[in-house]
Amino acid sequence: MSLFLEETGELGITNTQYGILMVLHDRPGIDQISLAKLLGLDRSTTGMVLGKLEKAGLVGRFIGTHDRRRRNLALTSDGQAMLQRLAEPARRAQVQVLSPFTAEERTMFLALLEKFVGKFNGSTRVPIEARRRIGERAIDPSHR
């Protein structure tokens, strides 16, 4: 079982669902295809996961303002509340992942990881697009 699921199990949200909720928080109104591309998911998986989140009342779809054929996505108030409930368990999972390292090693590891990702980002199937622009939350190396 993943560390994330160990920490969040009682809330019934998977890693993929959490990723979608985070993107919708940072990019309200994004469409399903853009969401799938951003997270590196195929369209059918994205549709299935969104269907579950919508059925749970966490995500809503609405007609786009610029293109009425497009359905855009947004968190519902229940989705916002779930994301708040997930914050602490997700933080604990992150702390657990980094726990083998000292504070100095965490800082070094995260810097090296960022350098590695930066070097090969352009050659991946799903490159990271302007991470800071979409509000990505950087890992805090001070957590133990």
- Residues 48-99: pLDDT tens digits? 999 999 999 999 998 877 777 778 999 999 999 999 999 999 999 999 999 9
> What are the sequence ranges of the domains in the chain?
3-99
How far, in Å, are 39, 75, 120, 124 from residue 129 at the CA level?
10, 21, 13, 11
Render pLDDT for 2-48 as a digit per residue (tens, 0 to 9). 888 888 888 999 999 999 999 999 999 999 988 998 888 888 999 99
116-119: which pairs have CB atoms within 8 A and are 24 or more residues apart?
Answer: none
Strands (DSSP E) found in 28-141: 59-63, 71-75
The CATH number assigned to the domain with range 3-99 reads 1.10.10.10
Distance between CA atoms of residues 99 and 61, nearest Å = 39
User: pTM for the full model?
Assistant: 0.76
* Predicted local distance difference test score (pLDDT) of residue 10: 87
Phi/psi for 2 (5° steps) reads: -70, 155
